[in-house]
Amino acid sequence: MKSFKGAAIHLNGKKTAIRASELAGWLKLQPFCGLPAKAAVITGSDWQERIKDRTGIVYFEDYWARQGETATPTGDHIDLWDGSGLTYSVVNRVRRMGVQQLRWLPWPLDGLNFSDLAASRQILFWEIK
């Protein structure tokens, strides 16, 4: 992360990116050994099938609406893929059960709402073996 110039915080003394789009942009520069020269474009509803049994980093561009957005969403996410799913979280556990989006919960539960990853404008995958 020494060459990463985007917004970051330090967790346990290690630089940690906080904006998915900036981290994805940095990964496109192939900043470390073992990262493919180019990310695979896996956009579409079958994105999970296309990377099944592979491991790496997956980036979802423009799939969730930020507060105040009514038209095109601009929210992104980047995560690790273990061959069958994303890093454990309550939301990702619910997705594994087949619920792909949840948008109707009112305040104070609205923080649990989530959008469909397959609706991303673009999905990129960097395979890491």
Domain-by-domain residue ranges, the chain?
34-127
Pairing of strands 40-41, 14-17: unpaired
* Dist CA 60 CA 24 (whole Å): 9
Tell me the pLDDT of the chain averaged across its residues: 84
Q: What is the pLDDT of residue 124?
A: 98
Mean pLDDT score, 45-71 = 90
What is the band of 38 on the pLDDT scale with cuts at 50, 70, 90?
Answer: very high
* Dist CA 4 CA 129 (whole Å): 22
Strand stretches in 21-90, DSSP E: 40-41, 56-64, 75-81
Is the pLDDT at 54 greater than 70? The verdict is yes
Per residue in 74-106, pLDDT (tens digit) is: 889 999 999 998 886 655 565 555 555 555 545
Q: Quickly name the fold that domain 34-127 has.
A: endopeptidase fold (from Nostoc punctiforme) (3.90.1720)
